[in-house]
Amino acid sequence: KAGVTQTPRYLIKTRGQQVTLSCSPISGHRSVSWYQQTPGQGLQFLFEYFSETQRNKGNFPGRFSGRQFSNSRSEMNVSTLELGDSALYLCASSLIPGPGADTQYFGPGTRLTVL
Amino acid sequence: AQSVAQPEDQVNVAEGNPLTVKCTYSVSGNPYLFWYVQYPNRGLQFLLKYITGDNLVKGSYGFEAEFNKSQTSFHLKKPSALVSDSALYFCAVKDGNNRLAFGKGNQVVVIP
């Protein structure tokens, strides 16, 4: 079974631009979560989607948004990019959301560099 | 709020020696604890998780973890470290909303 895939793997943008990242979950997984990884802040939760609805959102400004499609694929968008948005963006999928012990499986990430 | 702490920044161990990576947790309710490993320029790979039951959890690549409720710890262990185990290790706890809260990570360096 194929793992979580993320495209593109690398992106270079300039300040003020916007960017869209894509994530395809493991087949059969319906919950998709996004995380930002930076050297200073570590791994931080961005948001989670299930059944095309955002279930949870982390403490990030409104410039960060996302959506999920009917096939469970998800995209996240960052508008008006800032230098501090440079990070590795990780997508994770799981069978279902909720407080149980369901495992989240991560993709390889998209490395975003903002110049 | 659920949280985990990884007190050490880096763990150095000689190849063939036992490896331990420490993690303590703070949760309300039942703890769902996870260990992930990250190699350079890669995503996180799932190693193992604790749900309930046996305090010793076995995972991938020969890793295991010991859950200790009285010490609120979930230390990752491997009896004999390999050079290929050199990587960044993250402990995480799942909160009531399916969010993973991660520790800062531990860099493991296995010395040949």
Q: What is the tens place of the pLDDT at every residue in A46-98?
A: 999 999 999 989 999 999 999 999 999 999 999 999 999 999 999 999 987 66
Nearest-angstrom CA–CA distance, B69 and A87: 35
Residues B18-54: pLDDT tens digits?
Answer: 999 999 999 888 889 999 999 988 899 999 999 888 8
Full DSSP string of B54-71: -SEEE-GGG-EEEEETTT
Which of A15, A35, A71 is CA-nearest to residue B92? A35
Query: Quick one: tokens of A79?
Result: 């508008």
Q: Is A84 helix (H, G, I), strand (E, B) or coil?
A: helix
Q: Give the whole-number percent of chain B exceeding pLDDT 70.
A: 100
Nearest-angstrom CA–CA distance, A75 and A89: 11
**Are the CB atoms for A42 and B36 separated by under 8 Å?**
no
Q: What are phi and psi of B84, to 5 degrees?
A: -70, -10
β-pair partners for A20: A77
The distance of B26 to chain A (nearest Cα, Å) reads 16
The answer, for A54 touching chain B at a CB cutoff of 8 Å, is no
Which residue of chain A comes nearest to B29, CA vs CA?
A: A99
Residue A10, CA distances (Å) to A43, A110, B22 in order: 18, 5, 32
Contact A90 B43 (CB under 8 A): yes
Cα R_g (chain B), whole angstroms = 13
**Are the CB atoms for A26 and A93 separated by under 8 Å?**
yes
Residue showing tokens 């793997």:
A9
Which of A21, A43, A56 has the most B C-beta neighbours within 10 Å, making it the best mutation to test the interface with B? A43
